[in-house]
Amino acid sequence: MDDLSTDDYSAINRAFHEAIYVGCRNSYLATEIKKLRARLSPHLRGNFVARARLPSSHAEHQAVLAAIASYDEKAAELAMREHLLNGGKLFADMLANLNARPAD
């Protein structure tokens, strides 16, 4: 993972999430998530600019994948919720920093 560029990891991340959407077999939900990601995509890439997020994001993906592979629906749900919340916190922090004004 250390040798991946942020663009490479972003593409892998997108493919991972899209595989989850397809696997959910809820076309309405998958379509709505894709629309939301398309609207946010210019900003989502910023999550990966912080290289420190890559290892934790990768570990979260591993947890989601392990839960899905073992057919543990509850664990998969919890792992994905944690992953989305962690990414959301970073995204919120990034947006807050965009609006931060230097003290006079």
pLDDT per position as a tens digit, 23-45: 988 999 999 988 988 887 776 66
CA distance 13 to 19: 10
Q: How crowded is residue 34: how many other Cβ atoms within 10 Å of its Cβ?
A: 14
Which residues lie closer than 8 Å to 24 by C-beta, 6 or more apart?
30
Better-predicted residue by pLDDT, 78 or 5: 78
CA distance 73 to 40: 28
CA distance 89 to 75: 21
pTM over 0.85: no
CB contact at 8 A, 54 and 77: no
pLDDT value, residue 8: 83
Q: Dump pLDDT digits (tens) for 63-80.
A: 999 999 999 999 999 999
Better-predicted residue by pLDDT, 29 or 94: 29
pLDDT value, residue 49: 55
Q: How many helices (H) and strands (E) does the chain have?
A: 4, 0
pLDDT value, residue 96: 79
Local confidence band at 95 (pLDDT 50, 70, 90 cut-offs):
confident
